[in-house]
Amino acid sequence: MIDGLRLEAWNYGRALRNQLVSRHRDEYGVDRPPPPALIVDELLTDFVDVSLNYDPLPLGIYAQTEWKDGRTLVTVNSLTGRIVGVKDASGVQNVAKFHELVHVDRDLPELNNGLQLFMPELGPPAKIVCHRGFGSMRPPSIQPKPGTRGDRSWREFWAEEAGRAAAVSYEALADSEAFRAFIRLRQVGSFAANGERWTLLYRAAKDIGVNISALVKQLSLEGQFVVQKDGERQVIHPQPSFLLYMEGQ
């Protein structure tokens, strides 16, 4: 069931991203827009009519969405780089912004309609908060009925999966010189080329505007490669079918 929900969320996130990127392409008259994660600010502010702020938030929060003074406000934590474990603040922020974009598109209409998505006795929530650790969230074992308290965990699971899939663009990867070099290493033994593969993946993640963890997790979940622990190192095994597919893009 979870695999089916993930696929549904990925398709949702990618469809939303593609719709907005298409509008960006039409608006600015470019055949090949920049990677979506590098223009996510514009997608939010210019095409979804969201106010976007970078302000200090508690170090347990990446970003939050709220309905404030008659407008949707997305706030990104300007202190992201100080959160424990964060090495690429801009990449983490970009993925978090797609996470919030999903909330804006999918969850905020219910919030604005006054549906009580959190604890009914407290009334409608003022904001939807993206906490640190959303990238490792595991889905609940039982899907709750709409309008119950369990909705929050499912909403976050959905936004995590849809947002990450939207941020990790295969089309953008195909345009990355670092990722093209990664593809060309397919004839070299996995262990011999492992260090170079990781170096190229880090560069490719930066090229498309996401953090390395988001890139590796998305491609691993989709079965495009396997990361195997070998002593102190992580060895990456790309799937030949994936390399051939990306080579043809």
**Residues 150 and 217 reside in one and the same domain:** no
CATH of the domain at 217: 1.10.10
**Lookup: tokens for 18:** 């593609």
What DSSP designation does 103 have? I
| Contact (CB, 8 A) for 170 and 245 | no
Look at residues 167, 184, 219 and tell me which one is the last residue of a structural domain: 167
Look at residues 121, 144, 167 and tell me which one is the last residue of a structural domain: 167
Q: Calculate mean pLDDT across residues 208-230.
A: 95
**Residues 48 and 60 reside in one and the same domain:** yes
**Residues 195 and 232 reside in one and the same domain:** yes
Query: Taking the CA of residue 213 as centre, how many other CA atoms within 13 Å lie in the half-sphere pointing to its CB?
Result: 17
The tally of domains found in the chain comes to: 2
Domain that holds residue 178: 170-247
| Burial label, 168 (beta-carbon count in 10 A; 0-12, 13-18, 19+) | buried
Residues forming a β-bridge with 229: 234
Total Cβ atoms within 10 A of residue 159:
29
**Residues 124 and 201 reside in one and the same domain:** no
**Residues 144 and 181 reside in one and the same domain:** no
Write out pLDDT tens, residues 6-53: 999 999 999 999 999 999 999 999 888 999 999 999 999 999 989 999
Q: What is the pLDDT of residue 89?
A: 97
Q: Calculate mean pLDDT across residues 87-112.
A: 90
In the chain, % of residues over pLDDT 70: 80
**Residues 38 and 109 reside in one and the same domain:** yes
Q: Calculate mean pLDDT across residues 168-197.
A: 84
Q: Helices marked H in 48-175 — which ranges?
A: 89-102, 108-112, 151-167, 170-175
CA distances (Å), origin 172, targets 23, 141, 154, 169, 215: 17, 34, 29, 5, 12
Q: Is the pLDDT of residue 146 over 50?
A: no
**Residues 11 and 57 reside in one and the same domain:** yes
Q: Helices marked H in the chain — which ranges?
A: 2-28, 40-47, 89-102, 108-112, 151-167, 170-175, 177-184, 194-208, 212-221, 240-247
**Residues 32 and 145 reside in one and the same domain:** yes
**Residues 158 and 225 reside in one and the same domain:** no
Output the average pLDDT for the chain. 84
Contact partners, residue 71, CB within 8 Å, separation at least 6: 49, 50, 51
**Residues 142 and 208 reside in one and the same domain:** no
What DSSP designation does 105 have? I
Q: Which amino acid is at 98?
A: F
**Residues 121 and 206 reside in one and the same domain:** no
For the chain, how big is the Rg over CA atoms in Å? 19
| Contact (CB, 8 A) for 160 and 87 | no
Q: What is the pLDDT of residue 111?
A: 61
Of 38, 36, 47, 45, the residue nearest 13 (C-alpha): 36
Look at residues 134, 167, 200 and tell me which one is the last residue of a structural domain: 167
Give the whole-angstrom CA distance, residue 138 versus residue 157. Answer: 7
**Residues 179 and 227 reside in one and the same domain:** yes
Banded pLDDT at 249 (limits 50, 70, 90):
confident
Q: What is the pLDDT of residue 68?
A: 82
